[in-house]
Structure 1
Amino acid sequence: MLVPRGALVIEGAYVATLDPARREFVGHVVVSGNKIVAVGPGSSGLSEGAQVIDGSGCLVTPGFVNTHQHLYQWVTRGLAVDATLFEWLRTLYPVWSRITEESVYVAAKGALAQLALTGCTTAADHHYVFPRGGGDLLAAEITAAAEVGLRFHPTRGSMDRGQKDGGLPPDSVVEDRDEILAATSAAIDRWHDPSPGSMLQLAVAPCSPFSVSGELMRESAVLARRKGVRLHTHLAETTDETAWCLETHGCTPLEYAASLGWTGSDVWFAHGIHFDDAEIKQLGATGTGVAHCPSSNARLGAGIARTADLRAAGAPVGLGVDGAASNEAGSLVEEVRNALLLARARNGPQSLTVRDTLEMATLGGAQLLGRLDEIGSLEPGKLADLAVWNLNTLQHAGIPDPIAALVLSTPPPLDLLLVNGRPVVEHNTLVTLNHQSLAREVAKTQATLL
C-alpha cells in the first residue's frame, strides 16, 4: 500500500467500521490528510514515515453525529429543573431574549467543546432566537465551531408567532415573516458550502408549530428546496403540542406539517415522540427523519420516542443532545446509552441492541444530515472523522464486547478524536481550546445574562 509520509496509523485497536457488512475486528485504520485510506484486520505493516498510534485495548468508532442541539443554551443551564416543556419555555424565553453575539459565541464554544469530549465530530444546531440588537448570532456560533474544530451544520431557525399572536415566545424575539425569509436566504448564500468534505452546511429550521405560522412553515420549505438545503423543526414532542394542534388546526402535528410540505428525505424532526402507528408508517414511506433526544425528553417528562418502530418502518433516526437548558450534560456518548435504556424500558430488552444505538449515533445521524457518502462509517475514501475510546480502565476492563463496554458502561476516556483528519481531542483533553479558561468564560457569561 502506498501511503504518503505523515499518514496516521492506528494499530491493534478493536475497529467497529459500521460499513455495509458491519465488519468488526482487531486491526488498523490509516488516515492520510482528511481521508481514511485503509481499514482492515491485523497490522497495516506501515511504520516508516507514518505516525503510529498503539490502539491496544481501545475501540475505534466513526465520529458521532449530533443531529439536534441549541448551543446558545449552554449559558442558561440549571433553570426550571422541575418544569414541563411549556412551563420551562415560559421561564427561559425572557432570559433568552437577552442573548447577544458574545454570549452565543461563549455558549457555543462550551457546548461544542463538550460534544467533542464525548465523541462528536459533526454537530447540527437549531438556533431560532434572534433578539433585536443581539448582533450576528449565526456568525458567532459558526466562528465558535471553527475554533473548536467540529464539522458544523447550523440551521437558521425562526419564530413569527409571539405572545400577541397566541404563541409562547416574547414578542421581542419574534421576527417578521419576510424578514425571516430574507435573512435565511442571505445566510445560506453566505455560509452554506455544498462541496465534498464541507465543514459547514446550513439548513432551514422554523422553530415549532406553536411558535411559527403556517405561512412561514410553507414558505420556508419552498425556500429550502429552491436553495438545495435541508429542513428541520421540532415536532410531536409533547401531548400538549398534540392537543394544541388538534384544537387549533384540527389535525395532529404530523398531519399539519405534511400539509405544509414538511415530509420527505430532506426533512428531519426533533423529538418525534408522539406519533401513532399510521404516522410512523408515513415517516418510513417518505424517508422523513427523526432526531431522538432521550435525555432531554426524560428531563422534561415529554415521553419516550418509538425509535425501534421508526427504524423498523424505514424512517432514519439519529441522536441529539438537545439544548443544554434541558440536558445539562450535553454529552453525546451518554445519549447512546440513554437511547438504549429508554427504548428497553418502553418495549423490552429486544427492542434495540447496543449496535443499533451505535448505528443511530453514526450512520443514522449522517443520513439525517445528508452526509452518508462522507461520514458515519470507517471506510476507505470517507472523511477522517473518528473516535478512539480507551477501554483499558477499571470501568471497562473485563467486558468482552467492546461495543457493550462503550454503550452500557460509564463513558470511557477519549484517547483521540479526529475531525477531517485533525486532532480535536487527545488523551481526553481538548487540544483546540483551553478548557479551564473556557469554563471561566461560561460562568462569567451566565452570571451576566441572569
Structure 2
Amino acid sequence: MADTHHHARPDGTADPTAHCDLLVRDARLLVIDGDTEVPGGWIALRDGRVTAYGPAGSEPAGAARTLSAAGRLVTPGLINTHHHMYQNLTRAYAPAVNGTLFTWLTTLYPLWAALDEEAVHLATYVGIAELLLGGCTTSMDHHYVHPGPRLIDAQIRTAQEVGFRFHATRGSMTRSTEDGGLPPRSVTQTAEEVLADSERLVQTYHDPAPGALTRVALAPCSPFSVTRELMTATAELAERLDVRLHTHLAEDPDEDAYCLETYGCRPVEYFESVGWMTDRTWVAHCIHPTEEERARLAAAGVGVAHCPSSNMLIAGGTAAVREMRGLGMPVGIGCDGSASTDHASLWLETRGALLLGRYRGGPSAMTARDALDIATRGSARCLGRADELGQLRPGACGDLVVWDTPEVALAGALTDPVEAWLRCAPSRAWTTVVGGRVLVDGGELQLPALEEKLAEHTRVARRMQGLV
C-alpha cells in the first residue's frame, strides 16, 4: 500500500529519525493482522496512519504522546458490518422480546414511527459510545425507518462530532402492509423519495478518499419491505454513484415463504434477479441459503455480516461461516439491532462467533484468531476497505485497541494471549484509537457530553415506549 507517511524500514521497524503523533508500547502481544504478531511490540501512528511497528527496544524517538499497553493485548480495531443504532431507544422492550423475527418487527414498528432527528442523534451517540467500549473503531449503520426527513444527516453529524469512522447506509422501506409488505404505512416512503434522498446523501457526505471517516452506502431493508422496482433502481444508482449496497438476505424461514409467494422464487434468486449479485454488495445474516446458493453468492463476491447474538436470541438459525469462508466469501461481524441483540459490544459478538463456529463445526472449526480475523480483515472486506482497515501494516488507518481483561479472569492464562482474550471473560477496551485519535483512555470514554446525552436518551426512550 503506497502512502506518503511511511517511516518504516522494510522489516516494519522504525526509522529512528522519524517522529510520530502516538506511540503505543509495552504490549504483551501486538497483532498486526492474521499473519503477523509481535510479542512485546509497539506501534507508531502519524497523521492518522500506521507508520511503523516492531519489538521492544526499537521504538522511534520523539513521539508526541506515548501510551503504555502495560502488558495487554493490542489488535486492530474491530469493525461492525451490521447495526441499527436507533433501536437502542427500545432495547429489551418487554412485549417484543420473545417473538419471532416477524412478530418482533410488527410489535416495534409503531414505536419507531416516533423517530425524529433528536431521537436518532441520541441513539447514534449512545450507540457509538457503546461500540467504542467494545473495541469497535469503524461501524456501519443500517437506518431504514424514515418517519421524518434528514435522519441520516443527524447520524453523520453525530459520528463526525465524536470522530468515529462511520459508514452510513441509506435504508428504506416502501412496501407497507397496504401493499403486501410487513411494515405499516407510517414508516415507509415512496420509491421516488428514497432514490432522491439516496443520491442527495451520497453527493453531500460520501468521501471516497483513502482514510475517509464518512462513507455512504445504499440499503433497502429486506425483500418483505421494499418493492422489486426499488431494489433494481437502487442497484443501478449504486453503480452510477460507485457506492456499496447492503440489505438483509435469507434471514428467516418466513422470508423464504414470503419470497416464494410474492416473487415466485427463493430469496437468493430474487436477489440476483434485481441486480444485486455483485461484489459491491454485502448482506446481513444469510442464514438460510442452500449450498448451491452460497456458491453463487461467493462466486459473485457478495459479503456477509455474521450476527451471532441476534441469531441466537431470535433463534432463527445461524450462518454457515466456516463454509462461506472456505468459498472465499468476505465474512465480517455485526452486532445487529440494539433491540434484538440488546447490546453493541463487538468483543461479545466476536466471542459469539468463536462459540457458534465450534458449536456448529466441532472444536477445530473456529479458533480465537479466526474470530478476530472475521471481526477485522473480514469486516473490512465487507466494507470494501481491506487495503486500509482491519490490519495495522504501515500505511493502514491508525485504528487500534488495547484490550483489558480483569486480572482475576486472566489468572493462569499464560500461553496464548489471543485465545485468552476471547475465552477468559469479559474483555473491554482499555484504549480505543480511531485515526490516531484516542477516544477511550484508561477504560474511560473521552466524550465529555456523554452524561448529558444519556439523560436525554432516557427521556426520549421513555416517550417512545409510552412510559411518560
Bucket of the pairwise TM-score, normalised by the shorter protein = over 0.9
Which residue in the other structure is 2:157 paired with?
143
Which residue in the other structure is 1:331 paired with?
345
Task: Indicate conservation of the 8 Å contact 1:149/1:432, yes or no.
Answer: no
In structure 1, distance between residues paired with 2:407 and 2:226:
48
Q: Aligned-pair distance for 1:391?
A: 4.3
Identical pairs, percent: 45
In structure 1, distance between residues paired with 2:217 and 2:17:
36
Task: Indicate conservation of the 8 Å contact 2:20/2:44, yes or no.
Answer: no
In structure 2, distance between residues paired with 1:189 and 1:238:
34
SS at structure 1 position matched to 2:407: coil
Q: Does 1:255 align with 2:234?
A: no
In structure 1, distance between residues paired with 2:332 and 2:74:
20
Task: Indicate conservation of the 8 Å contact 1:66/1:124, yes or no.
Answer: yes
Q: Does 1:45 align with 2:59?
A: yes
Q: Aligned-pair distance for 1:413?
A: 3.7
In structure 2, distance between residues paired with 1:264 and 1:22:
31
Task: Indicate conservation of the 8 Å contact 2:245/2:280, yes or no.
Answer: yes
Which residue in the other structure is 1:429 paired with?
444
Which residue in the other structure is 1:274 paired with?
288
Task: Indicate conservation of the 8 Å contact 1:58/1:392, yes or no.
Answer: no
- Pick aligned residue for 1:201 from 211, 215, 235: 215
SS at structure 1 position matched to 2:214: coil
Which residue in the other structure is 1:408 paired with?
423
Task: Indicate conservation of the 8 Å contact 1:11/1:28, yes or no.
Answer: yes
- CA deviation vs aligned residue, 1:76-129 (integer Å, no higher than 9, x gap): 111211111000001000001111110011011111110011000000000111
Task: Indicate conservation of the 8 Å contact 1:93/1:170, yes or no.
Answer: yes
Q: Aligned-pair distance for 1:434?
A: 3.8
Residue type at the aligned position of 1:127: H
Tell me which stretches of 4 or more aligned residues in structure 1 moved more than 6 Å.
none
Q: Unaligned 5+ residue runs, structure 2?
A: 1-14
Give the total of aligned pairs: 447
In structure 1, distance between residues paired with 2:63 and 2:416:
33
Alignment of structure 1 residues 1-400 onto 2, 5 Å: 1-2=15-16, 5=19, 7-13=21-27, 14-18=29-33, 21-79=35-93, 80-131=96-147, 134-391=148-405, 393-399=407-413, 400=415
In structure 2, distance between residues paired with 1:325 and 1:273:
20
In structure 2, distance between residues paired with 1:329 and 1:420:
24
In structure 2, distance between residues paired with 1:248 and 1:160:
15
In structure 2, distance between residues paired with 1:244 and 1:203:
26
Task: Indicate conservation of the 8 Å contact 1:70/1:127, yes or no.
Answer: yes
In structure 2, distance between residues paired with 1:209 and 1:48:
55
Q: Aligned-pair distance for 1:144?
A: 1.5
In structure 2, distance between residues paired with 1:45 and 1:57:
16
Q: Aligned-pair distance for 1:437?
A: 2.8
- CA deviation vs aligned residue, 1:153-197 (integer Å, no higher than 9, x gap): 010011110010011111111111112111111111011011111
After TM superposition, the score normalised by the length of structure 2 is 0.93
Q: Aligned-pair distance for 1:445?
A: 1.3
- Pick aligned residue for 1:419 from 434, 437, 440: 434
